[in-house]
């Protein structure tokens, strides 16, 4: 039984890898077709914007209440808490939505693709990045407040 579950997870992880590769190919096609990409022109500002946009997308997918209904569609309920689905593609998606490292790869692909889709893509990525900076500042202020008041 345990071996079967492990084999099933390997199968779904392989499917996820193939989907990610296909999304990478689609991203390259989109940027080449509709966007602008000059690797030599990528500067620190670009990296900060893309990084903050990725941070915000990760937070949206893994933590934000607005995305709870999507997470709930793939996860099992145990009382009032969500837990990883037991098997199949729902388990893969629920593990993905619970893992900031896994989500980060997909979010980075989305943020980079959006950023290099021209002016409107840069504007969209910049808006997401500003929201990410706001989230980051909120997290820092909460941490500082908790440190100042250890009650």
Residue with tokens 């949206």: 60
Per residue in 107-140, pLDDT (tens digit) is 999 999 999 998 999 999 999 999 999 999 998 9
Mean pLDDT of the chain: 87
CB contact set of 38 (below 8 Å; sequence gap of 6+): none
| Element holding 52 (H helix, E strand) | helix 44-62
Q: Which one is predicted more confidently, 85 or 12? A: 12
Torsion angle, alpha carbons of 105, 32, 43, 110, to 10 = -20
Per-residue pLDDT tens digits for 92-115: 888 888 889 989 999 999 999 999
Q: What is the pLDDT of residues 75-85, one digit of tens each?
A: 766 656 666 76
Per-residue pLDDT tens over the stretch 17-40: 999 999 999 999 999 999 988 878
């Amino acid at each position: 039984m345990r071996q079967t579950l492990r084999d099933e997870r390997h199968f779904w992880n392989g499917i996820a890898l193939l989907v990610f590769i296909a999304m990478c190919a689609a991203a390259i096609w989109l940027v080449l077709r509709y966007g602008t990409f000059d690797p030599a022109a990528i500067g620190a500002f670009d990296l900060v914007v893309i990084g903050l946009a990725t941070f915000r997308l990760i937070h949206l997918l893994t933590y934000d209440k607005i995305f709870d209904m999507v997470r709930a569609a793939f996860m099992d309920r145990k009382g009032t808490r969500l837990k990883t689905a037991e098997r199949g593609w729902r388990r893969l998606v629920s593990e993905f939505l619970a893992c900031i490292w896994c989500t980060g790869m997909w979010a980075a692909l989305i943020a980079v693709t959006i950023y290099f889709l021209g002016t409107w893509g840069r504007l969209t990525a910049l808006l997401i990045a500003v929201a990410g900076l706001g989230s980051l500042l909120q997290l820092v202020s909460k941490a500082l407040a908790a440190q100042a008041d250890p009650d």
